[in-house]
Amino acid sequence: MNKTFFLLLLAAAFAGQVNAQKYFTRDGTISFSASSPLEKIEATSRGATAVIDAASGAVEFAVLIKGFIFEKALMQEHFNENYLESTKYPKATFKGKIANIEEVKWDKDGSYPVKVKGMMTMHGVTKEIKGQGNIRVQGGRIIASSDLELPLSDYEISIPSVVADKISKTAKVRVEVALAELKR
């Protein structure tokens, strides 16, 4: 009897440990497109930080605005100085929660659709956003991804009328991060 109780207690402790894990990265990829039929406007940052708490579903992302790299240096300069004002607003952040975190089997390979809701802060403006994402567990690696659309006007990003036809009113954002267990 004592042996059975001990094994059950050990199994429960291990299960709790799996669910209490946090996953982290400093080199996540966030890319966006605000292209129009007249102009290709795309950039990528490979320096996003992200953390996911497997127990609570809490999720946080942050990216430095100056970390976005464009094909054209002039476009990157305009993005930082005129549109996102990266000196004044150096980063974009998201803090939220995965609503259906209990459906993710962190210790079993597979692809798990998730629903995320939280607060996005960019250009000094914070807005609630909701979206769909995916968590892929593969050989102990965790890969989280999501696609979302952010209307530029929601974040008070003004586009001068001279170039308004060249820039989409909505940025299509792609997030993909490979996370590792956060060691303490």
pLDDT exceeds cutoff 80 at 15: no
136 vs 114: CA distance, rounded Å = 10
Taking Cα atoms as reference points, which of 50, 22, 45, 14 lies closest to residue 32? 45
**CATH for 22-181 (3.30.70.580, 2.130.10.10, 1.10.3720.10, 2.40.128.110):** 2.40.128.110
C-alpha distances (whole Å) from 60 to each of 6, 96, 118, 121, 125 are: 37, 6, 9, 11, 17
- Would you give the DSSP letter of residue 38? T
Neighbours of 101 (CB within 10 A): 22
Give residues with Cβ within 8 angstroms of 171, minimum separation 6: 32, 33, 34, 149, 150, 152
For the chain, the structural domain boundaries read 22-181
Length reported for the chain: 184
pTM: 0.85
> 83-141 pLDDT, tens per residue?
999 999 999 999 999 999 999 999 999 999 999 999 999 999 999 999 999 999 998 89
C-alpha distances (whole Å) from 138 to each of 32, 102, 143, 178, 179 are: 26, 18, 8, 10, 11
* CB distance 145 to 133 below 8 Å: yes
Across residues 23-44, what is the average pLDDT? 95
pLDDT exceeds cutoff 80 at 18: no
Across residues 18-27, what is the average pLDDT? 82
